[in-house]
Amino acid sequence: MANKGKTKEAPAEVAVEIRTVQVAEDGTKKYKCQYCGKWIKAESWEEAMAGDYCHQLREERGFTTATLADHRQSMSADDVPESEDARPYVKVAVLHKICVREGIPVSRMVKAFGGDRSIDGALHEKFTPVYVGRARYVHPDCAEEWGLNFMRSITGGRSNSTSPNSNEQKEVEEALK
């Protein structure tokens, strides 16, 4: 069928309003972080237009969107890796369930990883997560007695040494060898 003289016109551009503040019926406000896009309730948003964590990462620690992407890319793989003895790595979601079952606070697992996004570096190389797509995986030893005891020994925040409670960590590692 012929197009009898009719030309297709490009659609008119539609202005899209980007909302960064939402007000609920009860008057509470939610703010959208300019970096990650999460909705937050912190009033500090009005100063930084970001959540506290994103503000800290970017303003205080000097990360940019590009350096955060590079950091994640450095920890990414196409396939689930295997340990030196050919055991497949364990999904972090599975390790989370094991921690809950064993009574280990999940915050200790996060500390072992080096915090959110492993920004601070894992406390032990076996706890360095590997991203495969959107899922994270860790060495299978992390889900066994060695890893569970390692997480149990984590009690405080990160010190200036290579790992928190380094004497306790060394004792646990020596006992499990």
Of 103 and 160, more confident: 103
Mean pLDDT of 67-79: 85
pLDDT bucket at 37, cuts 50 / 70 / 90: confident
- pTM, entire model: 0.62
List, for residues 82-101, the tens digit of each pLDDT value: 999 999 999 999 999 999 99
Percent of the chain with pLDDT over 90: 35
Mention every residue, 6+ apart, whose C-beta is less than 8 A from residue 149.
172, 175, 176
